[in-house]
Amino acid sequence: MQKVYPELVKRLEHIRQLQHNWDSYGSRGFQDDTVELAYSVIQDMKYAAEQMGVQLPQPEVFPGPEGVIQFEWTINGKAFELSFALKEGTPNYEYLLCPEENPDSWEEGEFTGPLAESSAISKFLSWI
C-alpha cells in the first residue's frame, strides 16, 4: 500500500491520531478498527478495479463526524464519494455518484455487504 498510495497512508495515519473534539464540534476520535477498515476498503476496491482491467486512482481522504472516513474521486468530470464506519462491528457504507451526463443528478445510497457486490462500486469502476 505504501508504494502505491503513500499520501493515502500518511493521511490515514494522521486520521488515526485525531483525538476527541478534533473538529471543535465535539466529534470523537477514530477507532483503530475504522482506520484498518479504510485500508481494507482501498485494497478491496483496488482488487475489484484490477479484475475489471482498470487502475484505481488514489482517492482524497477526509475524516468525518461520528468516526466516519470518506474517500472521494473525481474522474473525467464524474464524482464518487464513499464514506464508511463500523457500527456495532459491522462495516456500513454510504455513497454518492454524480454521472458526467447529468451533474445535477446525484445517486445516493447505503449498503453493508461486501464492496465487490455493490452496484455503486461496479458503476464507479466502470467510469475509470
pLDDT in tens, 59-76: 999 999 889 999 999 988
Whole-angstrom CA distances from 33 to 11, 17, 22, 38, 84 are 16, 13, 18, 9, 12
Domain spans in the chain, listed from the N-terminal domain onward: 6-127
Where do we find the cell 474517500?
71
Nearest CA to 15 out of 49, 61, 79 is that of 61
Rounded Cα gap, residues 90 and 54, in angstroms: 29
DSSP state letter for 127: H
pLDDT of residue 3: 60
**Contact 69/38 with Cβ under 8 angstroms?**
yes
Which phi and psi (to 5°) does residue 127 adopt?
Answer: -75, -25
- Spatial strand order of the sheet with 90-98 comes to 60-63, 69-75, 78-87, 90-98, 107-111
Average pLDDT over residues 82-89: 91
pLDDT at 97 over 80: yes
Rounded Cα gap, residues 58 and 7, in angstroms: 9
> Which helix (H) or strand (E) covers residue 24, if one does?
none
Nearest CA to 67 out of 98, 45, 35 is that of 35
Query: Which grid coordinates belong to 123?
Result: 458503476
Mean pLDDT of the chain: 90
